[in-house]
Structure 1
């Protein structure tokens, strides 16, 4: 572990010194991606691009990065596809009820971020869509 920053020394100088010493010790040699160009930015800021790439590379769902209001909206949009994979009507009803409970909870706890504009899902309508999708397959 590195020593504490000495008093009356700028933070920037202290960090630069730590990096220079680590480089001199060879701690940055043979890192993955060494000598390769950085990926082109997509128009977002570089930190966001990096996080998205790392989350995807790890096989995780990027929806976890959304604010709750947007995540719920996305979940409602993806619901028909999710329900189509279910085998029983009871399970379809359970999933819709669970989603509606999360939506209610979000309205009770919403304190910041994007406006919460997602509506509760009509259980009977979702079941009907599920039935039609099963009949079509």
Structure 2
């Protein structure tokens, strides 16, 4: 499909000719899923929905698709749960410092999407809360 559309030929007939030539060469034979029905529609047939479903199906975190400002905001929301699983204080410090650096980087970046309204976290305050959460009975 690297050839250019000839002038004077409609786009539709040019594409149809390429499809016919590929069928004649057998390029569509034995494709994965051949002869199987398409997945049922859930009413959300946008391209983004397809990408999200594909990423989920491959076992990846969908938040990777978010703009950085929204991904950081989600990470801030999930931070208490994330830190509750951490066993070492040094690792908590690493996580918070990394998050702070990404927050600062997002603030330096020209606005091209949703604005990040979060400020860097106080590492010592987060560590104090983490220690208190570990010492309190469940």
Give the TM bin, normalised by the shorter chain: 0.7 to 0.9
**2:113 corresponds to which residue?**
113
Once residues 7 and 122 of structure 1 are traced to their aligned partners in structure 2, the CA distance between those partners, rounded to angstroms, is 63
After superposition, the CA RMSD in angstroms is: 2.3
Q: Which runs of 5+ in 1 are unaligned?
A: none
Which 4+ runs in 1 deviate beyond 6 A? none
Greater shift in the superposed pair: 26-35 or 65-74: 26-35
Aligned counterpart, 2:19: 19
Find the residue that maps to 2:5 and give its secondary structure: coil
Deviates more, 1:74-83 or 1:126-135: 126-135
Q: 1:122: Cα distance to partner?
A: 3.0
Higher relative contact order (CA 8 A, sep 6+): 1
Please give the alpha-carbon distance, in whole angstroms, between the structure 2 residues aligned to 1:52 and 1:75: 18
Q: Which residue of 2 is the match for residue 88 of structure 1?
A: 88
SS of aligned partner of 2:40: coil
Partner deviation per Cα, 1:32-64 (whole Å, 9 max, x = no partner): 222333223444343122211221222222111
- 1:58-77 correspondence runs (5 A): 58-77=58-77
Structure 1 residues 124 and 12, CA gap change in structure 2 (3 angstroms): farther
Aligned length: 137
1:83 CA displacement: 1.6
TM-score (norm 1): 0.81
Alpha-carbon spacing, 1:118–1:39, altered in 2? closer, same or farther (3 Å): farther
